[in-house]
Amino acid sequence: MLKNYYLLGLCVTGLTLVSMSAADVDTKKIPPASTRTDVTFDKDIKPIFEKACFKCHGTEKQKGKLRVDSLAAIKKGGENGEVILIGKSDKSSLVHAVSGAVEDELMPPDGKGDPLTKDQIGLIRAWIDGGAK
Ligand code: HEC
């Protein structure tokens, strides 16, 4: 009898873990968007990505089949489709990734570069919300 309860407990734990792994986004971790309205890829965003992302998402490597070294490449997305949703930075997986809003999906990955600052993420958000120009 005790053994049955034990097994039931294991099942419930297993199911909870499975349902949690479906990319739960912790929106509290996403910093607010900058209020700037003149953010552009070339001027503001590319330098951030160049420092933090190009080595894995540029000419040499395309981890997750994603490049972030040109506007066209970012709009194309990666192996799981679009990474930015224009006008909806809070729903953009790239923003989730750099904010660490999804467990175990921080970009740059742990130990592979400094995390982006709140200001940098705020700029990326303002850029996406303003049309990703
Ligand atoms: C050290 C290498 C490395 C760096 C640096 C890095 N990434 Fe990644 N990235 C990966 C890997 C590997 C994946 C594939 C998914 C995984 O295994 O986590 C990935 C996947 C992604 C994805 C998901 C693509 C998809 O369609 O599934 C996004 C978005 C992303 N990275 C954005 C960024 C951004 C933005 C930066 C810079 C701020 C960055 N990454 C820096 C290694 C890196």
Comparison of pLDDT for 109 and 17, the residue scoring more: 109
At 79, the amino acid letter reads: E
Contact (CB, 8 A) for 41 and 123 = no
- For 44-96, write each residue's pLDDT tens digit: 999 999 999 999 999 999 999 999 999 999 999 999 999 999 999 999 999 99
Between the CA of 63 and the centroid of ligand 1 the distance, in Å, is: 6
The conformational region for residue 77 under phi > 0 = left, psi -120 to 50 = alpha, else beta, is left
* pLDDT of amino acid 13: 56
Judge if the beta carbon of residue 79 lies within 6 A of ligand 1: yes
Q: What's the rounded Cα separation, in Å, for the pair 46 and 24?
A: 28
Contact (CB, 8 A) for 50 and 41 = no
* pLDDT of amino acid 6: 59
- For 99-118, write each residue's pLDDT tens digit: 999 999 999 999 999 999 99
Q: 100: closest CA among 19, 20, 25?
A: 25
Give whole-number Cα distances, 30 to 9, 86, 120, in Å. 34, 17, 12
